Structure 1
Amino acid sequence: MTDTVDPPLAGVRVLDLADGEFQMVGRYLADLGADVLRVEPPGGSADRNEGVLSGDTSLTFEIANATKRFTTVDPASTRAQADLDALIDGADIVLVGRLSDYVTGNLVDPTTIADTHPGTVVTVLSDFGEQSSKKNWTSTPDVQFALSTILSRSGLPDREEPLLPPSFLVAGAVAPQAVWMTITAYYTARRTGTGDVIDFSTLDALAHIFDPPMGMQGSGRTGIDPFDVPHGRPDARALYPIFPTADGMVRICVLSPRQWQAMLTWLGHPDEFNTPEYNRPAYRVKEKDRIFAHYRDLFAGMTTEEAVRQGEELRVPVTSIDELSDVVDEPAFRANGSFSDLTLADGRVATVPTGVYTIDGVRTGITDTAGGRVDNDPQDGPWLAAPVTAPVVPGHAPAADEQDRHLPFTGLRVLDFGVIVMGAETGRLLADYGADVIKIESTSFPDGCRQMSPGVEMTKSFAWGHRNKRSLGLDLTTEDGKNLLRRLVAEADVVLTNFKPGTLERLGFGHDTLQEINPGIVLSESSAYGDTGPWSTKMGYGPLVRAASGLSALWCYPGDADGYSDTITIYPDHVVGRLNAIAVVALLLRRARTGRGGVVTTAQVDAIFAAMAGHLAAETLEPGSGLAALSAPQDAPRGLFPAAGDDEWIVVDGHGDQRFAALAGAIGHPEWISDDRFATLTGRLAHNEELEGALREWTSSRTAITAERQLQDAGVPAGHMMRFADIGHDHDFSERGLLTTMTQPQFTEPFPTLASEGHSLRLGDARLQPAPLQGEHTREVIRDVLGLDEDTIDALVTCGALEPHPSDTPTTTGAPQ
């Protein structure tokens, strides 16, 4: 590996007119090498003074824009229209915040850009989408948590209220989804010559990427239908339990039979657990009270450091529950490149998350104190002078439907070694849009999400995560199996893995070997803590990474030692799946430009750090301030309020003088507007109890939906707590086309599934072919891709190199269409 890298998106120009939670969209593209030019009015945008603040510095702004260039266009200037038009003329991608000063001032119209620049991709970023009855609703992260069903699953059933997750998680999920849609549309444009308009919605994004109600679930919940979630919050603490030590807390993730046997060794082999049924996670959950009594006794007698060390020695997945202060002081995050230094606008140096990508062995993002930011005048800067070198993707344009919409990855062949949620997601995203994704698996090392109840071959979760793929049963412990893989790699475009670092090399298929076989191959790798540093070999499931990153400690009922509430979530697996898919497409674009492939590696922990970057930076500047920024009251009244009915809730946010006045009128207290006690934020906070009491009385006397509509009609951000069961009846999800149904042969009836990623003029609807049984397409793949005859295939089956499913007979033909 070298110290430099040819950036995958070199030559791609992005004009950034985004704001608020969408600032990170351009940042991800810049980190992959795009020339991202952010446009601001004189004196800077309001974003410079919002987000996580340290003194007069917005850490959110500094980090989200660190690798971009800047220019100024005065919306009031007579040159404004001409300046913006010139910048748009030079752009391949235009990111447009619906509430941008340039949009509200009628200087930028996405529809006009699409008409006058037919090869450009325009992404319009808003809370609810342009094509939505909620288009003009006001929103906050808490409102989005309520409407996306996330709130209904956050918290514990024995607490009175659900728990609002940390608000930074919204932006942390939304930006990758916006980038995924944008780069997919751009890839299509480079194949077809025709641009696109993406109508992006935060609500759509959260439904797809955070904890999708119809998405792949973790192995701990394999076989549990998400629509069986109880009316109150589900209690998933037994899946990834947390226990006190002598000086802290630890979380364990005992899932596989091997891990359970290691745990028994740690416990001293209690006789009461020495029966085979305890190897099954579902049975252990049933017997959790007896098992957890032993866990408590074990951990109570040791420090957190001792518990983690002993667990790692025994190969039991365990980690500490860390606070922000622990995280920023952890040397491992410097060693693996997760943290770097950034010189802020006021001259101070903060430790910040670097970014999420390592390309060809080189970290991208904030890699020096300068952050890479340069200011330019639009009339004489290199933006207008440099030639555009964006690649044209070779091959025929992908097949289009009657509305001239495309599946951009048609013709790509992907070898998918991905497992559990993140591994499933990356391949599914490519398969949905046309790629032939071949899931390679074996009976010796099955995907953890293949752990199903006796007699069950398919779950909805697995079907959602692996639709449109083919399954190849291949034993790589045999020399014949390895020879077959070498031939498959020669015929492939992409290889996907999320093994522990070093696993591919031990199998004899490290990146160097793959490139020798196929110089154009693109390899995607992901792990818990990255492929370098002392934690690279640390066992890491999502719940452990959330604990080690500081997120679990923040997602907790305040002051409640047993209030940790992140167990049910799959975050950040679906986010990381998209981050890797984005980089794969970027590397395919570079391959079109240079002819060579490349490798991207990511770490789950970096996806979490990207979301909480401002709070981590604040913690390094002033210990305690990162947590204070999360808990500091912003205004009153705001928060979670009960509505009429059983466990019904509504989020209301009356922050700011204007919205407070609107709230006062909407709930029948117009006298508040002229009351000097409530004239300022300080005054409202001082009388918070009185204000919230009145609002609570008002919301509890009506349904959450009724209260939501009355408040939104008045311009007050509000959202009722939706559940899984509500989605199919929700008008917004219906009109946005978010849901459809899929047919899976192992189920008697079609069941709901998420449709395409969002609104687009050119991207076709996601394919809806079934997910495969293990080894279902073994013979078919070997025939189609390698051209082997049946006698040869039979011999490979007999020697154990190939593992077809019993139903996989020689009569099965044809890749999924």
Structure 2
Amino acid sequence: MSANAPAVDGEGGAVTGRPLAGIRLLELTQGAMAAIARYFAELGADVIRLEPAKGAADRREGMMAASPFSDAASIPFHAANLGKRSAPDTCFDTLVADADILVMPHGARDAEALRKAYPRLVILSVSDFGDTPGFAHWKGSGPVFHALSGELSRSGLPGRAPLLPPGDLAVECAIVQAVYVTMVACWQALQTGRGDHVDFSILDGAVQALDPGYGVGGSAAAGVRPSALPRGRPNAAHLYPILPCKDGFVRFCVMAPRQWQGLLRWMGEPAEFADPSFNAITTRYGSPDLVPAMARFLAGMTRLEVEAGAQQHGVPAAALLDLDEALQSPQMTARSPFKPVEIAPGLAAPFPDGVMEIDGCRMGIRSPAPSLPDRSTVWHESPPMPRGNAAPQRPLNGIKVLDFGVIVVGSEAGRMLADQGADVIKVESSTYPDGLRQTAGPEPVSASYASGNRNKKSIAINIRDPRGKALLLDLVRQSDVILSNFKGGTLESLGLDHAALKHINPRIIVTDSSAYGPTGPWARRMGYGPLVRASAGLTMQWRYPHEETSFSDAITIYPDHVAGRIVAIGVLALLIRRRRTGRGGRVSVSQAEVMLCHLGKQIAARALGLAGATITNADEHSQVYPCAGDDDWCVVTIRGDADRQAISRVTGDVPLNQWLAHRPASEAMQKLQEAGVAAGAMLRISELPDFAYFKARGFFRSTRHPHIAEAVIMENAPARFAMMPDPADGPAPLLGEHTEELLRERLGISDDELADLLAQEVVEQHAGG
């Protein structure tokens, strides 16, 4: 099949089987950010890439398969451009007239003129630092974004130099944020007939979607935010301990009292840990004896034996696998998240086959990356996309969501929808509360919980009671979306699986985000982010070179935030499809597969190397340098001779490392950026709100919560929109705070019925105060 031929679904059906069929996206971006449009292609949009007639430079940049395959395009090019078609850039004026979305580098075209000429067009302008006064000309890189986002300051071991995370996580997460904000603007344009211009900064996206320091944190942190961490790398190994066993390492995430009781029984109930105080996570963290006792208990077991015992006793644990082991694991073998793509005659490499499933089908690779531009490329004929002329308002105003989500992924998916105007009801109970509700202090709500659950309401229902379940089903009949991120089988055990809910409400959109996906031998495993990182091969990479036990990802929360955004993207895609078809659907996201997708270029290169190809890489190098001051560091990325010459002009005859050692990181960063070199001072979370760039962007907001004594700093808008206001500022709810209000308004429950439901503990109501 020609790379520019009409695309065909991976499931063998026509392209119209995917939810974004009928959406037309025109692309001018190159390099890593071209993957923004790839996500749209996977979801069914018709994507045409514009480039010079002889091909754009990114076809030859980055990792390359050398002779005898020297004519093959680069691995990053294929990874970013699967499923697209290509046309010469001289066709811009012809194609833009019928496009729904334009993705372009900042300043590539006059965005204001385009908005006037094509009022329904959504324009995403992409650059490293956005159209930000004083920073628009700055250059970024993945390592520089790690430094300026606060991620680098938390990566590594106490007393050691900061450790750059493996892969290209900052950029990959920023790509997902860009897809999300473009999807929001596209949905709004379909509703109102009016497009928008989105100024997207890659640094913003990295801060928001990787591990936001002022976002929602994991339950192990008990609400303590990263901004409160001491200077230097945090001592966090006790949070999710990694212990040696007979043939490697295993990681534990023992969070809830029932999980601790399972571990205690498994260990034979040793007397020294029998005190009930060990039910508290803080007691376990503070014990100098517990981890050594666990290590002695595990010493004679293999990784598989540890996992089997943990599963039997309800203890969250996972073996640390290297990348090859992860790809060959029973779960990945069963689910096949990668698909071979021919990148040159006789040469194929595996690439991620999508990051979500819709209605049980992978939204993955539709066709190879495009060959050289074809002047005859035109838009596919497709059914007309229904368009409205509603008055502008919050994009998801009127969309009703039941949110069963817990911890980070669950919080983020619901917040992304609530921030855009959806009516999001958090469904919970005091018997099964969200783990994020635990706090280290006396306040009933932590800053972390407030950030992750703003703009939501809470209803507390015992859905194991027949009357409670009946109330819930009445809410389902009125709803548009249901969010969940339990381990596989949980909703089915409650009779709330997609098939049952669809029978009640054919328009319902149901999401499930789990550690390993809805099918396969690990589908019912409990998995927190640290366990997913262990079993997906990332933890084994997140180490200092040649130091086997220097695991350094304990404080990191990944892929939770980005997975929550992928869930929200799936919801928006199905809302768009529902406008055309009237039917709902199901979105499934595997956090392990999201992570492996982000390592896709590395996986493709490894496979090609094993197949006998020689892989060469571009002349790019990043390093973390010590600077003057206490734990002061600067990241510098050098891309070729032009950067080396620019550095020489700045430093004179002094070697770069010596020049940096005598200057504060912020000063060094400024001078190098002025010379056109990508550089970033390592910022701590507490320093982000005062950094001039974030101030200029209006990136953070300070807000008051009625149950938190001090003001809370949190993320403001997901991007800078020309037409869309910032999210509302509704406080995160107490458990059951809106139960009475919602039962009266939504279901018409009488005073007597409500009193009886409360008395029988079918529902709970906590005063908002």
Question: Is TM > 0.5 for Structure 1 vs Structure 2?
Answer: yes
Three-state SS of the structure 1 residue aligned to 2:25 is strand
Tell me the residue number matched to 2:37: 26
Return the alpha-carbon distance in structure 1 between the equivalents of residues 345 and 144 of structure 2: 33
Three-state SS of the structure 2 residue aligned to 1:238 is coil
Distance 1:258 1:487, change over 3 A: same
Tell me the residue number matched to 1:85: 93
Contact 2:167 2:602 in 1 (8 A): no
Tell me the residue number matched to 1:61: 77
Return the alpha-carbon distance in structure 1 between the equivalents of residues 43 and 638 of structure 2: 39
- Residue 48 (1) aligns with residue 59 (2): yes
Contact 2:173 2:562 in 1 (8 A): yes
**Deviation of residue 227 (structure 1)?**
2.0
Distance 1:635 1:96, change over 3 A: closer
Tell me the residue number matched to 1:150: 151
Q: How is 1:269-284 mapped onto 2 (pairs within 5 angstroms)?
A: 269-284=269-284
**Deviation of residue 387 (structure 1)?**
5.2
Contact 2:159 2:232 in 1 (8 A): no
**Deviation of residue 116 (structure 1)?**
1.2
Tell me the residue number matched to 1:815: none
Contact 2:174 2:204 in 1 (8 A): no
Q: How is 1:168-247 mapped onto 2 (pairs within 5 angstroms)?
A: 168-247=168-247
**Deviation of residue 42 (structure 1)?**
2.7
Return the alpha-carbon distance in structure 2 between the equivalents of residues 261 and 476 of structure 1: 25
Return the alpha-carbon distance in structure 2 between the equivalents of residues 749 and 30 of structure 1: 45
Return the alpha-carbon distance in structure 1 between the equivalents of residues 102 and 519 of structure 2: 35
Tell me the residue number matched to 1:324: 323
Return the alpha-carbon distance in structure 2 between the equivalents of residues 742 and 389 of structure 1: 43
**Alignment equivalent of 2:381, drawn from 386, 390, 409:** 386
**Deviation of residue 710 (structure 1)?**
1.1
Contact 2:19 2:576 in 1 (8 A): yes
Contact 1:527 1:602 in 2 (8 A): yes
Tell me the residue number matched to 1:124: 125
For 2:38, the aligned partner's letter is R
Tell me the residue number matched to 2:47: 36
- Residue 424 (1) aligns with residue 408 (2): no
Contact 1:156 1:565 in 2 (8 A): yes
Contact 2:52 2:373 in 1 (8 A): no
Return the alpha-carbon distance in structure 2 between the equivalents of residues 397 and 752 of structure 1: 32
Three-state SS of the structure 1 residue aligned to 2:136 is coil
Return the alpha-carbon distance in structure 1 between the equivalents of residues 641 and 52 of structure 2: 24
For 1:504, the aligned partner's letter is L
Tell me the residue number matched to 1:377: 374
- Residue 717 (1) aligns with residue 717 (2): no
CA offsets, 1:345-377, max 9 Å, x none? 34322222211111111111127xx54858773
Range with greater deviation from structure 2 (311-320 or 141-150): 311-320
**Alignment equivalent of 1:397, drawn from 371, 376, 391:** 391
Return the alpha-carbon distance in structure 1 between the equivalents of residues 157 and 736 of structure 2: 40
Distance 1:373 1:137, change over 3 A: closer
Return the alpha-carbon distance in structure 2 between the equivalents of residues 391 and 629 of structure 1: 47
Tell me the residue number matched to 2:565: 578
Return the alpha-carbon distance in structure 2 between the equivalents of residues 388 and 97 of structure 1: 30
Return the alpha-carbon distance in structure 2 between the equivalents of residues 503 and 258 of structure 1: 17
For 2:721, the aligned partner's letter is S
- Residue 658 (1) aligns with residue 642 (2): yes
Tell me the residue number matched to 1:685: none
**Deviation of residue 600 (structure 1)?**
0.7
**Deviation of residue 386 (structure 1)?**
2.2
Return the alpha-carbon distance in structure 2 between the equivalents of residues 127 and 581 of structure 1: 24
CA offsets, 1:762-793, max 9 Å, x none? 12111111100101110011112112122111
Three-state SS of the structure 2 residue aligned to 1:534 is coil
**Deviation of residue 730 (structure 1)?**
1.1
Return the alpha-carbon distance in structure 2 between the equivalents of residues 60 and 730 of structure 1: 32
CA RMSD of aligned residues (A): 2.2
**Deviation of residue 633 (structure 1)?**
9.5
CA offsets, 1:295-321, max 9 Å, x none? 221222122222222222222111111
Tell me the residue number matched to 1:336: 335
Distance 1:534 1:625, change over 3 A: farther
For 2:557, the aligned partner's letter is I
Return the alpha-carbon distance in structure 1 between the equivalents of residues 516 and 662 of structure 2: 49
Contact 1:244 1:300 in 2 (8 A): yes
Return the alpha-carbon distance in structure 2 between the equivalents of residues 580 and 46 of structure 1: 33
Tell me the residue number matched to 1:443: 430
Three-state SS of the structure 1 residue aligned to 2:215 is coil
Contact 2:224 2:439 in 1 (8 A): no
Contact 1:415 1:496 in 2 (8 A): yes
For 2:156, the aligned partner's letter is G
Return the alpha-carbon distance in structure 1 between the equivalents of residues 276 and 164 of structure 2: 40
Distance 1:537 1:53, change over 3 A: farther
Contact 1:129 1:200 in 2 (8 A): yes
Return the alpha-carbon distance in structure 2 between the equivalents of residues 734 and 536 of structure 1: 43
Contact 1:127 1:203 in 2 (8 A): yes
Range with greater deviation from structure 2 (129-138 or 54-63): 54-63
**Deviation of residue 110 (structure 1)?**
2.5
Tell me the residue number matched to 1:776: 737
Tell me the residue number matched to 1:512: 499
Distance 1:490 1:376, change over 3 A: farther
Tell me the residue number matched to 2:8: none
Distance 1:629 1:767, change over 3 A: farther
For 2:464, the aligned partner's letter is T
Three-state SS of the structure 1 residue aligned to 2:594 is helix
- Residue 15 (1) aligns with residue 15 (2): no
Return the alpha-carbon distance in structure 2 between the equivalents of residues 713 and 356 of structure 1: 38
**Alignment equivalent of 2:760, drawn from 799, 804, 807:** 799
Tell me the residue number matched to 1:607: 594
Contact 1:16 1:26 in 2 (8 A): yes
Distance 1:237 1:346, change over 3 A: farther
Return the alpha-carbon distance in structure 1 between the equivalents of residues 408 and 139 of structure 2: 33
Distance 1:629 1:702, change over 3 A: farther
Return the alpha-carbon distance in structure 1 between the equivalents of residues 386 and 273 of structure 2: 60
Distance 1:317 1:216, change over 3 A: same
- Residue 6 (1) aligns with residue 17 (2): yes
Return the alpha-carbon distance in structure 2 between the equivalents of residues 625 and 474 of structure 1: 59
Tell me the residue number matched to 2:4: none
- Residue 348 (1) aligns with residue 342 (2): no
Contact 2:357 2:587 in 1 (8 A): yes
Unaligned runs of 5+ in 1: 74-79, 400-406, 670-690, 813-817
Return the alpha-carbon distance in structure 2 between the equivalents of residues 18 and 166 of structure 1: 25
Three-state SS of the structure 2 residue aligned to 1:558 is coil
CA offsets, 1:167-225, max 9 Å, x none? 41122101110011101011111111110000000111112111111111111112213
Distance 1:71 1:735, change over 3 A: same
Contact 1:171 1:611 in 2 (8 A): no
For 1:234, the aligned partner's letter is P
For 1:517, the aligned partner's letter is I
CA offsets, 1:592-640, max 9 Å, x none? 11111111111101211121101112222324999x989x89456x411
Three-state SS of the structure 1 residue aligned to 2:714 is strand
Contact 2:669 2:679 in 1 (8 A): yes
**Deviation of residue 432 (structure 1)?**
1.0
Distance 1:315 1:703, change over 3 A: same
For 1:804, the aligned partner's letter is Q
Tell me the residue number matched to 1:687: none
**Deviation of residue 728 (structure 1)?**
2.0
**Deviation of residue 230 (structure 1)?**
0.8
Structure 2 length as normaliser, TM-score?
A: 0.94
Unaligned runs of 5+ in 2: 1-10
Q: How is 1:227-306 mapped onto 2 (pairs within 5 angstroms)?
A: 227-287=227-287, 289-306=288-305
Range with greater deviation from structure 2 (724-733 or 487-496): 724-733
Tell me the residue number matched to 1:310: 309
Return the alpha-carbon distance in structure 2 between the equivalents of residues 726 and 625 of structure 1: 47
**Alignment equivalent of 1:646, drawn from 605, 612, 630:** 630
Contact 1:529 1:603 in 2 (8 A): yes
Contact 2:187 2:395 in 1 (8 A): yes
Tell me the residue number matched to 2:3: none
